[in-house]
Amino acid sequence: MKPINIGLLGLGTVGGGTVSVLKRNAGEITRRAGREIQIRAASARDLERARICDTEGIQLTTRSFDIVNDPDIDIIVELIGGISPAKELVLAALDNGKHVVTANKALIALHGNEIFAKAREKGLMVAFEAAVAGGIPIIKAIREGLAGNTVEWLAGIINGTCNFILTEMREKGRDFADVLSEAQALGYAEADPTFDVEGIDAAHKLTILASIAFGIPLQFDKVYVEGITGITAMDVAYAEALGYRIKLLGIARRAPEGIELRVHPTLIPERRLIANVNGVMNAVLVKGDAVGPTLYYGAGAGAEPTASSVVADIIDVVRTLTSDPENRVPHLAFQPGAIAEMAILPITEVETAYYLRLSAADQPGVLADVTRILANRGISIEAILQKEPPPGESQLPVILLTHKVRERELNAAIALIEALPTIGGPVKRIRMETLG
């Protein structure tokens, strides 16, 4: 059988890792795929730049569309990132009858519905395992390994930058801005870290996970997104004192009224395995009705961990090149005609428990006023932590942990609490999940 020719778009960190893995493991990959896989051509913005991989034998070009239009190339591997020109290149590749492998979470989250429709029309595959959680094969696990389950919920640490920052804040008592600067120096965070620390990157990934878990269209615009920039060392320390750890979680859950899609900082009981995922590592916890909770852990980024998923997708495509397109694993796990529109709940309709931190006057009756307001809204308290005011200060920090409540009820209660003359400044709120 003739070898399968790959066209690689992008020779950055993941592209270089993909070249290295394909070359180093060529013999093992051929045994698994049943055919030799070789990189025929690769594109990069700067051909003179030093590479982390050996490009000998690969045609290099700055013109990505030349690779997409090359009739001798069978599979396009898109590792450019971003939306444009990645979207145009992927659609052109499909129009030219080429299968596609991509690690581009933003592209899939925002334009996957259109791309998959084009692929079905052409009888082609678009594989995207590396788009979520780097080297963790979470998409294959949900789409294939858990295919016999009704997925009830999933929760994931799916942004390594935020996890590194929160880990450093907890372990060393450092402030957010200080740790962010270190993350940038180490290459964990971009010069403009907005996509990471504001939760947008995690929301792209959650969009994809929710779609394959529940059989719903990709709907990034309906994800509630809240980042970690408002988390203080004080909140991290108080959470620890109460037996919790703060993680940025992407959460998708079936509820009677619809589907919850939300990304936000979350208190998790420290006894949970996922609460002990530290540094830049990723983890996804999936609860199926038959299997129960399952945890998937590993490197969420990096050259070769992500390349591991890219190359696995390439092998999957090669294995199915001769199969009937109607009998391949569907892109979003469910058969195209079975993708269902389900209501996506606004965050105000989500029920969860909460951590509340407020600054209260150091005088009698203040806590009674607060608890009365909560009780009037049907909000019960699980725990209270009250600290002595700092020297010379008249306000003391009070921490409340609530039982589960609908967010709109909590919003109303917080507004009344903040209006009390004895409460200084806004109430800090962080959602809590037991993940039991």
Kindly list the catalytic residues: 205
Residue that the structure tokens 């969860």 belong to: 352
The CA-based angle 302-109-272, given to 5 degrees, is 60
DSSP state of 344: B
Bridge partners (DSSP) of residue 254 are 259
Give the total residue count for the chain.
436
The two tokens of residue 290 are: 């038959």
Dihedral sign (CA 333, 337, 343, 344): positive
Residue that the structure tokens 């965070």 belong to: 189
Nearest to 130 by CA among 329, 3, 316: 316
Q: How far apart are CA 316 and CA 145, in angstroms?
A: 15
| Residue 250 near residue 209 (C-beta atoms within 8 A) | yes
Nearest to 152 by CA among 308, 7, 276, 293: 293
| Residue 259 near residue 267 (C-beta atoms within 8 A) | no
What is the helix, strand, coil percentage profile of the chain, to 5? 40, 25, 35
CA dihedral in degrees (112, 115, 121, 124; nearest 10)? -100
